[in-house]
């Protein structure tokens, strides 16, 4: 692939991801969603909805594995690898929201000040997610730094371990923000609950594999970090850099 093509694809993937995530957020706050009039039976809807989350989860986690990355970069430049990952995440998240099936029933419906407070938690979740991406390098996370360096003929330095701000309190603030946003809705329908539970379950499975990769990459440094900092729920413990050994 030509450098200009890699750059254009990377920018397109980034824009597509932002659009797909806004679509996902619009579902969570009830601005878009399935039409109850066209809902299939409960069992069929459940099967379709769980299948959609599995489709997203398998591709999202599978393409993040080192083995898949090595295979992919046999055919594509390394600079494009992250953009491909961002692109497929965008596509399958959009498919999940677009294909989501209505399931009858409401668990709670809050109005007035209570609804405002819940929307505040939703905004907090998105804020934590957004801030966390910049704390660890938003542009590298979404492949933009890679395509920019490639366009300029530069190499990307190897990643180093760091735990800024929110990462001193929980190891995975991005995922914490996602879970908060999933459940913080004043109108919790059954299909929304299924989405929230299924996506949260995927987050936990994905974190299992992510932490395995981080332990391989950073060794004892990450093991010491894990011993100090909880995965998702703050406990009041704060990361102390001086207590962690430097990577070998």
pLDDT for res 159: 81
Instruction: Sort 160 into a burial class: Cβ within 10 Å, 0-12 / 13-18 / 19+.
Output: exposed
- The mean per-residue pLDDT over the stretch 69-90 comes to 93
244: pLDDT strictly greater than 90:
no
Does the pLDDT value for residue 158 go beyond 90?
Answer: no
Q: Residue 65 has what pLDDT?
A: 86
pTM for the predicted model, two decimal places? 0.90
What is the pLDDT, as a whole number, of residue 240?
Answer: 83
The segment with the largest mean pLDDT, out of 66-80, 156-170, 187-201, is 187-201
pLDDT of residue 84: 96
Q: Name 20's Cβ contacts closer than 8 Å, sequence gap at least 6.
A: 89, 90, 91, 93, 94, 97
Mean predicted lDDT score pLDDT of the chain: 92
What would the two tokens of residue 158 be?
Answer: 């190897």
Q: What is the mean pLDDT of residues 142-149?
A: 95
Separation between Cα atoms, residue 127 and residue 179, nearest integer Å: 12
Strand partners, 108: 188
Q: Which of 143, 168, 157 is nearest to 228 (CA)?
A: 168
Least confident stretch, 6-10, 34-38, 83-87, 107-111: 34-38
- pLDDT single digits (tens) 90-143: 999 999 999 999 999 999 999 999 999 999 999 999 999 999 999 999 999 999
The predicted pLDDT at position 1 comes to 64
* Three-class DSSP category at 188: strand
pLDDT at 247 over 60: no
pLDDT score for 245: 42
């Amino acid at each position: 692939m030509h450098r200009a093509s890699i750059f254009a694809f990377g920018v397109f993937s980034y824009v597509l991801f932002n659009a797909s995530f806004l679509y996902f957020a619009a579902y969570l706050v009830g601005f878009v969603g399935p039409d109850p009039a066209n809902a299939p039976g409960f069992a069929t809807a459940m099967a379709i909805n769980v299948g959609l989350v599995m489709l997203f989860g398998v591709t999202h986690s599978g393409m993040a594995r080192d083995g898949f990355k090595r295979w992919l970069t046999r055919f594509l430049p390394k600079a494009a690898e992250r953009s491909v990952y961002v692109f497929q995440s965008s596509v399958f998240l959009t498919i999940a929201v677009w294909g989501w099936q209505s399931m009858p029933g409401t668990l709670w419906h809050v109005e007035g000040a209570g609804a405002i407070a819940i929307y505040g938690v939703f905004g907090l979740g998105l804020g934590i997610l957004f801030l966390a991406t910049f704390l660890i390098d938003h542009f590298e996370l979404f492949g933009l730094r890679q395509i920019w360096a490639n366009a300029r003929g530069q190499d990307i330095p190897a990643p180093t371990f760091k735990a800024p701000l929110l990462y001193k309190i929980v190891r995975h603030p991005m995922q914490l923000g996602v879970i908060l946003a999933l459940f913080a809705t004043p109108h919790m329908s059954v299909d929304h609950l299924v989405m929230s539970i299924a996506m949260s379950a995927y987050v936990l499975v994905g974190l299992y594999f992510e932490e395995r990769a981080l332990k391989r990459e950073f060794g004892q440094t990450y093991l010491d970090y894990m011993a100090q900092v909880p995965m998702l729920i703050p406990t009041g413990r704060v990361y102390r850099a001086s207590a962690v050994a430097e990577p070998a």
